[in-house]
Amino acid sequence: MVQSTQFGSYCTVSEYESTVNTLALNINVQATEKLMLNAGVTYNKAEDEWNWDFADRPTLEFTTATGTTGTANPGYDTEIQNNLMDTYSDLSYEQYEFTVGGTYNFTEAFYTTASATYDIFNSDEEYVYGDEDGTAYYGYVGIGWNF
């Protein structure tokens, strides 16, 4: 029989801080009796940081039924693999999103709607998947029926 106890946790040896700020400005305008237009601008700024030293991590200690004690050595728990974890957990980016759209009512029940968005993503640091700077264009067109 093996009894095991983990002393401490990663929370006691690491520090994580996250700050996210968002500003969104939107406008809806009833252009005509049947046409509603909308536009929006959104800005996001995020900063995340996780600081820890692999050598300070808690270890798994055990005691057997015969009183033998020791520490566990799971094969993947190495400094080479895990000491860069805090580097991968640093995040800093800005995102700008610009959207325009509208809805046109053919009747009280039948309508069409469309929207187009342009996104700009600026990453100050490489994250898990590398450099994530870029732009994106996307939109939609739809028809609807209110009942």
Beta bridge partners of 71: 61
- The model's pLDDT over 82-104, given as tens digits with 9 standing for 90+, comes to 666 666 667 788 999 999 999 99
* Burial classification of residue 76, based on how many CB atoms lie within 10 Å of its CB (0-12 exposed, 13-18 middle, 19 or more buried): exposed
| CA 110 centroid distance within chain | 37
Query: For the chain, which residues make up each domain, given as ranges?
Result: 2-145
- The model's pLDDT over 108-137, given as tens digits with 9 standing for 90+, comes to 999 999 999 999 999 877 766 677 789 999
Contacts 24+ apart (CB under 8 A), 86-89: 86/14, 86/49, 86/50, 86/51, 86/52, 88/127, 88/128, 89/16, 89/48, 89/49, 89/50
